[in-house]
């Protein structure tokens, strides 16, 4: 189940180490707009995705994907069909780690390894 964008933003804002006023200043917004984003009372404009991602220290592509998937799912599906499946910087690091740990072997996922990945993913939260 995907977390709604406003909940993701609220979580990332909480752990960013920045005040809402600082984040708002990075976006050239008033602080009350950040509150409205966190509450889902206003939408994140596409042109503010990258500045907000950079302010929060999150992957801009991931935030763009979340934003378009929620607000304009058909548009996101069309973009993804053209550009293909992309990974975030954090996902790339995980893939590199798996390759290192498996000596670059290309193992298929078994039911056992799938369960292990599910456990791993749960630990990331």
Q: Please give the pLDDT value at position 1.
A: 55
Express each pLDDT in 41-76 by its tens digit: 999 999 999 999 999 999 999 999 999 999 999 999
CATH label of the domain that carries residue 69:
1.10.260.40
In a shared domain, residues 95 and 64:
no
Question: In the prediction, which pLDDT does 27 show?
Answer: 96
pLDDT band at 82; cut points 50, 70, 90: very high
Q: Residue 119 is part of which domain span?
A: 89-123
Residues 9 and 33 in one domain: yes
- Check whether residue 49 and residue 109 sit in a common domain: no
The pLDDT value given to residue 79: 93
> pLDDT tens digits, residue range 93-119?
999 999 999 888 888 889 998 999 899
pLDDT at res. 46: 96
Contacting residues for 47 by C-beta, under 8 A, at least 6 apart: none
The Cα–Cα gap between 20 and 90 comes to 25
Q: How many domains does the chain have?
A: 2
Query: Which CA distances in Å does 106 have to 61, 62, 95?
Result: 26, 26, 11
Residues 73 and 24 in one domain: yes
């Amino acid at each position: 189940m995907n977390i709604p964008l406003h909940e993701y933003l609220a979580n990332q804002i909480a752990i960013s180490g920045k005040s809402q006023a600082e984040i708002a200043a990075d976006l050239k917004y008033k602080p009350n707009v950040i509150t409205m984003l966190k509450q889902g009372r206003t939408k994140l404009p596409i042109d503010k995705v990258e500045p907000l991602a950079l302010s929060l220290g999150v992957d801009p592509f991931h935030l763009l994907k979340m934003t378009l998937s929620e607000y304009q799912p058909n548009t996101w599906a069309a973009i993804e069909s053209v550009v293909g499946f992309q990974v975030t910087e954090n996902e790339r690091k995980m893939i590199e780690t798996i390759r290192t740990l498996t000596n670059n072997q290309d193992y298929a996922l078994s039911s056992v390894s799938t369960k292990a990945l599910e456990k791993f993913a749960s630990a990331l939260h």
